[in-house]
Every structure is written in C-alpha cells, then in structure tokens.
C-alpha cells in the first residue's frame, strides 16, 4: 500500500540525500477512506438479483467450482470453461464458502476491486498531489454511476480494472520515488504482482494495458528511459511469471488445445473479429463515458481553466491521467465487440481529471475557509449538489433494479430448490438459464437438450459456450448435451425428474402440453416429470411399465 504521508504543500519535497520514503503504511485518513468505501459499495450489493447473462454465467461457474471442489478447472455445466482465467471464480467461490451462496457474497470480487481502486487512488493522489485532491477524486469516483454499478456487478471487468489500476499506480509511484533516491523496489515488485493478477483476472490486457499506459506517460513527461528501466526489471518479470504462469501451464498440460483456444480464439480473434457479441461504432466508449458518469462529466469543462489556479504538478499526474484515459479508451474502441464494462479501467483517471477541474473552480470561487455564518461559496454548493445527485442516481438505480430484472429466474429456481429431492436429475430444454444452477443450489450438472448441429451454435451464445467447452471433455459432453430425440428415453429411465423449458412449450417439446407446470416465470416454466403417472408415460411414449423406471 502506498503511504499517504504527504507534505502540506502540493509540490514534492526537495531531494535530500538523507531523505527516505516513509515506510509503506496506512494513515488515519486512508483508514477512513477504506471504511467509507467498504460500506458505500457494500450497502446495496445484495439488493438486486443476478443480471443475465453475465452475472448468472460467472457466478454459476464459481458455484460449480465450490460444489465440485475442483478449484483448478473452471466449468460450465461440468465442462471446462476457458473463456476467462480463474481469479474471479476463486474469489467468488471462496466468498460463498465463507459467507454462504448469497447474492452479496457472489459479488465479493467486484466489491473488493472497487474498494481497492478507491483506496489505492486516494493513497496515490494524497502522496503525490494533496489530500484535498485525493478526497475530491474518491468522492467523484465513488459516486460515478458507471463505477458504482460495476462495484455491484459480478463479472470480471471491475476486478481486472483494479489490477490494471494498481499496476499503473504502483509503477508510477516507484518511478517517482526512484527519481528522488528513495526505496522503490518493494513497490515495483507489487506492481508486477498486480499485473500478474490482472492476467489471472481477464487475460493479457492485465499486463498489456499497464505497459502501454506507462510507456505513454514516459513519453509525455520525458521519463521514458526511467519507465523503461523499471519495466525491464528482471526480478519483477520472474515474480510476474511465478504468479501468473502456473495455472496456464497446468491447463496446457491437462488440455493440449487450451493455449490455442485461450490466447488465439478468446484473445486475438475476439479482438480482431466482428462475429462476437455487441458490435458498436468506434465512438461508443467516449459517449458511454460521458453519459454514464453524469452528473459529473460536465465538470470536465473546467479543465480549460487548468492554467489558472492549478497547483504545480511536478509528478506529472495530469499527463498520467490523460494518457491513461486515452490509451484505455482507444484500445477498447478498436475491436468491433464493445461492452460497457470493458471501459472500467478508464474510470479512475477520469475521476481524477473531473476532481481536478472541480478543484480549479473551487479554488477560484472563494477562500479556503468561509467565515462562521457565511453562506457556502457557489462552486462548493454546486460540487456538493453534484455529489448528492450522483449518489442518489447510484442507489436509486440499484434499488429500481431490485424490482425490475425480467430475465431473472430466481423465483423459479427457489421453487425447484424447495421441491427437488436430492439426486433427482434436471433437464434444460432448448435453454440454459445461467442463474438457475446458483439459485437452485444444484449439486450436479444438468442435461441440456438442443439440436446441437443447428447453425445457431456458430453465434456467440450459451450454445457456443457449451459446444466450445465440450471439446475439452467430449465424454462428459456426450452425457450432458443431447438432441431432442433423446429426451424421452432419458426421462423414462427415472421415476422423478425436473424439466425447465420455454413457455408455452416449443414444437419439439409438445409432450409437455399434457403436463401442468409446477412453476412459471415469464416465458420459462418448470415441470415435475413423474413417470409413475400413466399420463406422463403416455406423453413421453415410455415403453414397459412404471416399475421399469429407476
């Protein structure tokens, strides 16, 4: 953790041979920031159900990891799922193990990441700028709707944003400390560990983006040689490899096609191809950043006044944040596939720049202290009003989503959980509701019925994910991924099973029309199939008598 012990002035202390950097520690203000951010991001973490598909998918994978005890191989319906590396699943499964499989525990990774970004940014800005700027920055950051929403969202984006942010801030801290003759190796080692965790969080962007940002900052501030020297530190790369490489090596040993699938298909092809999800124009992220950080984004207009009233910036923080924001935005604007969460690594520098623009207005609007009984200066009233409005948007949106989550199958899953006896099989007909395995606490993989040779498998969907996973475990896929013609014989083999499918039933599942649903949630229904009932055996065309069913 970067020390927050700062000089009273905004400028850096003069270099002195006897001066040493204070020990890496935390101060009272940092602890206050930690407590406030932990409570703020955690207070509504369990308020709304899991969003579909992302939260349901990733939490479902973590649930499978927990229930199976296999912490090495992430699985989707019991099949190896290598779209993403395992750090998110490890954190989420550990959280659910400690606190139970609830929604708040399932969002522990995002909560932990948002608190880490907030407190890390506070420590960095307090150390190399001033405390007032640090507090303004974290107030802006914590009440940005996009950032707050990411802190409440159980997927990988906030986690990798935290790792990228830590790698950048720790390396810049090391560069500034080294230039003054202060100890810096321990902090630099932490930066390499953060980059390694970023790779374990979401892949190569965990190291590529920090390197690009740091090189850009080095060019912008004429520190390229110093930055390059830090980036070429051999012990750091050994530490990086020691943290990041073992899981990838283990997966390559177990699954020979893993390396090609993970790095070529899921990295290079997804980046360069237009056939994946949510294609958007190049200007998508600049517009999204401005829109989803309202009501803070209009304060950016104050950056035009930076030359008037701005404190000195010998550390080059302004340049760092501009480069950081620009590199991340351009990088993610290049591919056709764009999801809002991808841009989260750009939120920390944007918050700094907004807070700096606000600081210029605050300094220019009134003296530092208003007299007793004097009205609050207008710029400060406007800053406070913006913070209150932003916080209201954050909490209000989360509360509204508690009541409106149309794709959630929480109620259906809880009905299945309450009624299903241990060991009774579950079959999904033409659908794969990601959140159902988590909410129902299913203790085994399900059978998924679909025409798997259909052309739809080529699209980026749950079908594609299961087909991709099946290549790593073909024997398991044969048992779990079956065609419509096989469902009748499968259900006839057991006395009692549960079926989840579309409502009304699809044409290939017309036999379900004779069975009343046990539960219905929107366009999805749950059926209890009991083959001892003559009507059920007739609908399924089961051969033999009911006693033949196990």
Q: Which of 304, 335, 366 is the last residue of a domain?
A: 366
Whether residue 361 sits in one domain with residue 422 = no
pLDDT tens per residue across span 459-485: 678 998 999 999 999 998 999 999 988
- Residue 224 CA to residue 226 CA, distance in Å, equals 5
For residues 500 and 467, the answer to whether their CB atoms sit within 8 Å is no
**Residue 101 resides in a domain:** no
Whether residue 528 sits in one domain with residue 435 = yes
Whether residue 415 sits in one domain with residue 302 = no
By residue count, the chain amounts to 550
Mean pLDDT on 342-361: 89
> Residue 166 corresponds to which tokens in the numbers above?
């830590």
pLDDT tens per residue across span 407-434: 889 999 999 999 999 989 999 998 999 9
**Residue 3 resides in a domain:** no
Q: Please write down the HEC assignment for all residues of 466-528.
A: HHHHHCCCHHHHHHHEECHHHHHHHHHCCCEEEEEEECCCCHHHHHHHHCCCCEEECCEEEEE
pLDDT tens per residue across span 99-122: 999 999 999 999 999 999 999 999
Give me the torsion for CA of 153, 157, 158, 161, rounded to 10°.
Answer: -170
Number of domains in the chain: 2
**Residue 69 resides in a domain:** no
For residues 214 and 169, the answer to whether their CB atoms sit within 8 Å is no
- Residue 132 CA to residue 126 CA, distance in Å, equals 8
**Residue 234 resides in a domain:** yes
> Residue 321 — very low, low, confident or very high, per pLDDT cuts 50/70/90?
very high
Please, what sign has the CA dihedral across residues 509, 514, 517, 522? positive
Whether residue 499 sits in one domain with residue 424 = yes
Whether residue 190 sits in one domain with residue 254 = yes
Mean pLDDT on 52-58: 93
Query: What is the average pLDDT score of the chain?
Result: 86
Whether residue 425 sits in one domain with residue 335 = no
- Residue 249 CA to residue 21 CA, distance in Å, equals 38
Whether residue 420 sits in one domain with residue 358 = no
Whether residue 265 sits in one domain with residue 328 = yes
Q: What is the pLDDT of residue 306?
A: 52
**Residue 393 resides in a domain:** no
Domain that holds residue 494: 410-548
Residue 137, classed as helix, strand or coil, is helix
**Residue 174 resides in a domain:** yes
pLDDT tens per residue across span 70-97: 999 999 999 999 999 999 999 999 999 9
User: Which H/E stretch holds residue 429?
Assistant: strand 426-429
**Residue 378 resides in a domain:** no
Whether residue 290 sits in one domain with residue 142 = yes
> Residue 318 corresponds to which tokens in the numbers above?
């302004």
> Residue 382 corresponds to which tokens in the numbers above?
């406007």
Q: Which of 336, 366, 396 is the last residue of a domain?
A: 366
Asked if the peptide bond before residue 295 counts as cis, ω within 30 degrees of 0, the response is yes
Whether residue 421 sits in one domain with residue 541 = yes
Can you give the pTM of this predicted structure? 0.89
Whether residue 427 sits in one domain with residue 349 = no
Predicted confidence (pLDDT) at residue 458 exceeds the cutoff of 80: no
Whether residue 339 sits in one domain with residue 434 = no
């Amino acid at each position: 953790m970067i020390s927050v012990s700062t000089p009273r002035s905004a400028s850096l202390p003069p270099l002195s041979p006897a001066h040493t950097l204070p020990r890496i520690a935390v101060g009272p203000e940092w602890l206050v920031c930690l407590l406030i951010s932990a409570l703020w991001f955690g207070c509504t973490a369990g308020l709304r159900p899991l969003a579909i598909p992302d939260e349901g998918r990733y939490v479902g994978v973590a649930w499978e990891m927990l229930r199976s005890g296999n912490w090495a191989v992430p699985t989707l319906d019991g099949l190896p799922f290598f779209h993403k590396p395992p750090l998110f699943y490890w954190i989420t499964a550990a959280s659910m193990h400690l606190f139970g499989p609830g929604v708040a525990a399932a969002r522990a990774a995002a909560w932990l990441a948002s608190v880490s970004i907030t407190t890390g940014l506070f420590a960095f800005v307090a150390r190399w700028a001033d405390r007032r700027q640090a507090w303004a920055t974290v107030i802006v950051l914590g009440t940005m709707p996009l950032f707050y929403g990411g802190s409440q969202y159980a997927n990988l984006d906030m986690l990798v944003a935290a790792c990228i942010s830590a790698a950048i801030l720790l390396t810049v801290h090391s560069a500034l400390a080294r230039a003054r003759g202060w100890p810096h190796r321990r902090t630099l080692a932490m930066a390499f560990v953060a980059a390694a965790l970023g790779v374990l969080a979401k892949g190569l962007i965990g190291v590529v983006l920090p390197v690009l940002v740091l090189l850009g900052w080095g060019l912008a501030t004429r520190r390229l040689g110093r930055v390059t020297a830090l980036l070429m530190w051999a012990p750091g790369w050994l530490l990086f490899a020691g943290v990041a490489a073992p899981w990838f090596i283990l997966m390559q040993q177990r699954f020979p096609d893993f390396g090609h699938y993970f790095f070529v298909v899921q990295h290079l092809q997804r980046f360069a191809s237009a056939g994946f999800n949510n294609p958007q124009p190049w200007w998508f992220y600049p517009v999204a950043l401005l829109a989803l950080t309202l009501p803070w984004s209009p304060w950016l207009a104050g950056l035009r006044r930076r030359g008037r009233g701005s404190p000195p910036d010998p550390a080059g923080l302004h340049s760092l944040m501009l480069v950081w924001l620009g590199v991340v935005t351009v990088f993610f604007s290049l591919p056709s596939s764009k999801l809002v969460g991808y841009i989260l690594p750009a939120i920390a520098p944007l918050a700094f720049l907004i807070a700096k623009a606000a600081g210029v207005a605050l300094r220019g609007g009134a003296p530092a202290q208003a007299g007793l009984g004097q009205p609050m200066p207008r710029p400060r009233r406007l800053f406070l009003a913006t913070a209150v409005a932003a916080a209201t948007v954050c909490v209000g949106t989360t509360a509204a989503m508690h009541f409106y989550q149309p794709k959630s199958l929480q109620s259906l899953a809880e009905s299945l959980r309450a009624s299903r006896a241990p060991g009774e099989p579950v079959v999904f007909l033409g659908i794969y509701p990601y959140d159902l395995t988590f909410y129902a606490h299913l203790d085994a993989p399900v059978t998924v019925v679909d025409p798997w040779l259909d052309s739809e498998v080529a699209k980026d969907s749950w079908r594609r994910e299961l087909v991709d996973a099946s290549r790593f475990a073909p024997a398991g896929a044969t048992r779990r991924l079956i065609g419509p013609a096989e469902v009748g014989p499968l259900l006839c083999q057991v006395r009692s099973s549960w079926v989840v499918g579309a409502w009304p039933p699809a044409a290939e599942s017309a036999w379900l029309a004779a069975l009343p649903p046990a539960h219905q949630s929107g366009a999805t229904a749950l059926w209890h199939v009991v083959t001892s009932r003559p009507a059920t055996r007739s609908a399924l065309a089961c051969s033999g008598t009911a006693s033949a069913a196990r």
